[in-house]
Structure 1
Amino acid sequence: MRYALALVRSILFWIAFVIMSSICSIGAVVALPVSHHATRWFVRLWAQFHRLICRFILGHRVVVEGAMPDTPVLYVFKHESAFETIEQPMLFRWPAVFAKEELFSIPVWGQAARFYGLIPVDRDGGGKAMRAMLAAAKAALANGRPLVLFAEGTRVPHGQAPSLRAGFAGMYRMLGVPVIPVAVNSGVAYPPRRWVKWSGTITYRIGETIPAGLPRDEAEDRVWRAINALNPPEALETVSE
């Protein structure tokens, strides 16, 4: 019975999400030559609508423990599902999110994302790609935008705690800004790579701000522990051994 209800809810959710995603992506692209603000409005509308259908169709409740200031710092989020990626334009006024290069090839959506100011991450691009990514990140900070990085590099099921990708250490050292880690447990109700979603509570837990200039090992350890704060304790103990 529980699965049947989740299945029906998920079907309705995906129908609504695909329709609204198409409308907002087309609207954002059409607005490109007209107004930057209009494009950003469509992107924010998309995120707000996603939160709305998660609440009233899937039965999600979202809890935020702590404050996420909308300032030019580097946020590092736990990455358990697409939920927290879609949420970014609603959590912040105009975030600069690091996103996989291949996402920018999606028709319409990719064009809108590039114009909005998402930062492409080309892992095979070498030094040239790294310099372009760093320049885009610095420009975003200069405009007062928070940077958002999913330092694990890919979605991981709830309870898993992989090491941070090497890219975090490079960004942390070269940008020289504080880091705010955010734990998320979205993978329970919104599991990665599965189209059936479940009702439940999704929590954001904001960790202690990590100052710039720490040794690499210390910074990575503090971020890793903070973003995994919502994992079962035994999962972290297993990884630490």
Structure 2
Amino acid sequence: MLYIRNLIYWLVLVIITPPMFLLILPAALIPKGANRVGRAWALILMWLLKNVIGLKYRVIGRENIPTQPSIICSKHQSGWETLALQEVFPLHVYVAKKELFKLPFFGWGLKIAKTIGIDRKNTAQANRQLIEQGLARKKEGFWIAIFPEGTRLPPGQRGRYKLGAARMAKMFKMDLVPVALNSGEFWPRNAFLKYPGEVTMVIGKPVAYDSGTADNMMSECENWIESQQRQIEGTGPFAAHRTNN
């Protein structure tokens, strides 16, 4: 049954993505219109994950979400959070590698929805793109979501937290909102199969943009996220302690 449920998920994904992309085109003429269509696409997939796959989730700390646009600074373990953050947080744009824009329909939609595309092979260029595009998105009233480790990492692993999020926070006067999650224990990286269970997402209190240097802000964000990771990890079929056995 797990294979059949996953096949249904992927079939629906393939079927709905082209027409949703076509909806994005006229919606892009309206401020934030393309992003609202993109969110609708994500919510459809979240419904499938819950009701077809059986992959549910709970949120701890929802009351910590600020009322003003901020920068979401999230752990990244799977594709799940790219969908779930859109259901939990106000309308936002992601920071992503620009290579994704080449993907048919999905990537084209990302570009039209004003995703901040960066060149990860060129650090100096990536920093300029973050600042220039990020400032434009802020002026348009968007939140910004970034994965500070830069890529998806398996449960139990910790990458180097880059300073881009904190630098944007200080320059744009937007607080950082740290997010911990254990999605990779149910949806492994690059895996066809997703597994039933309950993902835990924990949202921390915002780190104020004027609370210290960019290094201090990112250090605070990193320490909080990783401390939460230790508390919520170990429940799914692909938890680190299980995959290591």
TM-score (norm 2): 0.83
Deviation at 1:40, TM superposition (A): 3.1
Q: Which amino acid aligns with 1:20?
A: I
1: distance between equivalents of 2:46 and 2:227? 23
Aligned pair 1:17/2:13, yes or no?
Answer: yes
Match of 1:59 in 2: 54
SS of structure 1 residue aligned to 2:224: helix
Provide the alpha-carbon RMSD of the alignment.
Answer: 2.4
Whether the 8 Å contact between 1:72 and 1:146 is mirrored in structure 2 is yes
Gaps of 5+ in 2: 234-245
Q: Which amino acid aligns with 1:24?
A: M
Q: Which amino acid aligns with 1:79?
A: H
Deviation at 1:81, TM superposition (A): 0.4
1: distance between equivalents of 2:97 and 2:125? 16
Deviation at 1:133, TM superposition (A): 2.5
Aligned pair 1:83/2:44, yes or no?
Answer: no
Q: Which amino acid aligns with 2:180?
A: A
Deviation at 1:34, TM superposition (A): 4.9
1:154 to 132, 142, 151: 151
Deviation at 1:230, TM superposition (A): 4.1
The CA deviation string for residues 151-181 of structure 1, in whole angstroms up to 9 with x for no partner, is 1111111121222124344434433421110
Pair 1:112–1:152, CA change in 2 (3 A): same
Pair 1:229–1:190, CA change in 2 (3 A): farther
Pair 1:123–1:173, CA change in 2 (3 A): farther
Deviation at 1:41, TM superposition (A): 3.4
1:221 to 219, 222, 225: 219
Gaps of 5+ in 1: 236-241
1: distance between equivalents of 2:28 and 2:149? 35
1: distance between equivalents of 2:53 and 2:131? 38
2:35 to 1, 18, 40: 40
Pair 1:21–1:69, CA change in 2 (3 A): farther
2: distance between equivalents of 1:169 and 1:36? 27
Match of 2:229 in 1: 231
Counterparts of 1:98-109 in structure 2, within 5 Å, are 98-109=95-106
1: distance between equivalents of 2:121 and 2:39? 31
TM-score (norm 1): 0.84
2: distance between equivalents of 1:38 and 1:144? 13
Counterparts of 1:90-239 in structure 2, within 5 Å, are 90-213=87-210, 214-232=212-230
Aligned length: 230
Pair 1:98–1:37, CA change in 2 (3 A): closer
Pair 1:23–1:229, CA change in 2 (3 A): farther
